[in-house]
């Protein structure tokens, strides 16, 4: 697997001659950030050797290289979810490729269901920590020592300085933000009321189906990580209603502008 990652990174390097500093996973709610990037190169996933192909509605697959906030960035338009049937290794493959391309920071966004009773639909939540309840971990198997240790530390999976920076940027731009813990379940089912209750009891503020594998692999490889989530529905007793993928996309689109401002300004100051 390491050889494949290396070969893919070498292919991209040769094609683009680009040296990214920051990697961005354009999850739900960050699609609009693409418009802010001064694009130098776009590589469709199907043109990149060894890359998985994305299947889920609302996600198209491209790796985008360019300038944002004065920094060289590489952005993944379209991510890979465990529920699509990819292995954990496939889900994190692009993260490891971006590491070999030279990134030092990873920024990730997602949509999630709020289980904190103080949250409202449309809130943004800075992820301060996560709970991995996926049926796996991308680091299971022979350790890739080229990236990091067998037993990586996770005491600060989400970089505290980046959390502080995000809060500063949000305040300056009069954007209110929540902070909290993101718990990952496999999906693709949304949660039952009992499952939402379980998520809350376990100590989380939101639940979603992504991000955690990418952050585990990124942290293993020594990257500083930042994550932000849009609360698109509530798993709070008395407030639970039917939820569809379309609802999630709709709420995320409304919050997109605020999320874009925060990420763009953070990148400028990193
Ligand atoms: N649960 C899991 N994933 C989600 C949710 C949810 O309620 N909302 C958006 N993604």
**Percentage of residues in the chain with pLDDT exceeding 70?**
97
pLDDT of residue 122: 93
User: Binning pLDDT at 50, 70 and 90, where does residue 60 land?
Assistant: low
Residue 30's pLDDT is 81
Least confident of 53-67, 105-119, 242-256: 53-67
Q: What is the DSSP string of the chain?
A: -HHHHHHHHHHHHHHH----SEEEEE-TT-GGGGGGSEEEEEEEGGGSTT-----STT---EEEEEEETTEEEEEEES---GGGT--HHHHHHHHHHHHHHT--EEEEEEEEEE-STT--TT-EEEEEEEEE-SS--TT-SS--TTT--SS---TTSS-HHHHHHHHHHHHHTT--EEEEEEEE---SSPPPHHHHHHHHHTT-SEEESSSHHHHHHHHHTT-EEEEEEEEEEE-STTT-----HHHHHHHHHHHHHHHHHHHHHHHHH-
> For position 249, what pLDDT does the model report?
86
Ligand 1 centre from 49 Cα, in Å? 31
The pick from 248, 249, 251 for probing ligand 1's pocket by mutation, whose C-beta has the most ligand atoms within 8 angstroms, reads 248
Mean pLDDT along residues 49-76: 84
pLDDT above 60: residue 73: yes
Instruction: Read off the tokens for 80.
Output: 């890979």
Is residue 226 predicted with pLDDT exceeding 60?
A: yes
CA of 144 to the centre of ligand 1 (A): 31
Mutate to test the pocket of ligand 1, among 59, 125, 207 (most ligand atoms within 8 A of CB): 207
- The pLDDT score that the predictor gives to residue 172 is 96
What pLDDT is stored for residue 270 in this prediction? 92
Kindly state the percentage of the chain with pLDDT values over 90. 83
Query: Any residues with Cβ below 6 Å from ligand 1, and which?
Result: 111-113, 187, 190-191, 207-209, 232-233, 235, 243, 248
Least confident range of 77-81, 161-165, 203-207:
77-81
The DSSP line for 40-107 is EEEEEGGGSTT-----STT---EEEEEEETTEEEEEEES---GGGT--HHHHHHHHHHHHHHT--EEE
The pLDDT tens digits of the residues spanning 123-155 come to 999 999 999 999 999 999 999 999 999 999 999
Q: Which of the residue ranges 2-6, 76-80, 112-116 would you say has the lowest mean pLDDT?
A: 76-80
Locate the ligand 1 atom nearest the alpha carbon of residue 113 and give its number. 7
188: preceding bond cis by omega (within 30 degrees): yes
Predicted confidence at residue 32, as pLDDT, reads: 84
- Per the structure, how many domains does the chain have? 1
Residue 248 has pLDDT above 90, yes or no: no
Q: Provide the domain limits for residue 31.
A: 2-269
Across the chain, mean pLDDT equals: 93
Centre of ligand 1 from the C-alpha of residue 114, in Å? 8
Does the structure show a pLDDT above 90 at 193?
A: yes
Q: For residue 181, how far is its CA from the centre of ligand 1 (angstroms)? A: 14
Query: Hey, which of 233, 236, 249, 254 would you mutate to test ligand 1's pocket, going by the most ligand atoms within 8 Å of its Cβ?
Result: 233
Query: Is 91 a residue whose pLDDT tops 60?
Result: yes
| Residue 55 pLDDT level (bands cut at 50, 70, 90) | low
CA of 91 to the centre of ligand 1 (A): 18
CATH of the domain at 103: 3.40.50.1580
Tokens for 203, please give them.
């100590």
More confident residue, 76 or 29: 76
pLDDT of residue 211: 97
């Amino acid at each position: 697997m390491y050889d494949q990652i290396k070969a893919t990174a070498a292919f991209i390097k040769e094609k683009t001659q680009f040296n990214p500093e920051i990697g961005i996973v354009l999850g739900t709610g960050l699609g609009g950030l693409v418009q802010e990037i001064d694009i130098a190169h776009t590589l469709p996933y199907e043109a990149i050797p060894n890359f998985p192909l994305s299947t889920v509605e609302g996600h198209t697959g491209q790796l985008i290289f360019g300038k944002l906030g004065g920094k060289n960035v590489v952005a993944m338009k379209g991510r890979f979810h465990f529920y699509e049937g990819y292995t954990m290794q496939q889900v994190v493959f692009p993260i490891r490729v971006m590491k070999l391309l030279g990134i030092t920071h990873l920024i990730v966004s997602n949509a999630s269901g709020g289980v904190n009773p103080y949250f409202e639909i449309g809130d943004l939540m800075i992820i301060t920590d996560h709970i991995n309840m996926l049926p796996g971990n991308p680091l299971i198997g022979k350790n890739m020592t080229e990236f990091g240790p067998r037993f990586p530390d996770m005491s600060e999976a989400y970089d505290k300085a980046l959390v502080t920076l995000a809060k500063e940027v949000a305040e300056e731009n009069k954007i209110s933000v929540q902070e909290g813990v993101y718990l990952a379940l496999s999906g693709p089912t949304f949660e039952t009321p009992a499952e939402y209750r379980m998520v809350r009891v376990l100590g989380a503020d939101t639940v979603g189906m992504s991000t955690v594998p990418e952050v585990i692999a990124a942290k293993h490889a020594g990257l500083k990580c930042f994550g932000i989530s849009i609360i698109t529905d509530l798993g709070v007793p008395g407030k639970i209603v039917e939820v569809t993928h379309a609802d999630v996309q709709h709420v995320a689109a409304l919050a997109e502008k605020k999320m874009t401002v925060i990420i763009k300004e953070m990148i400028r100051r990193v």
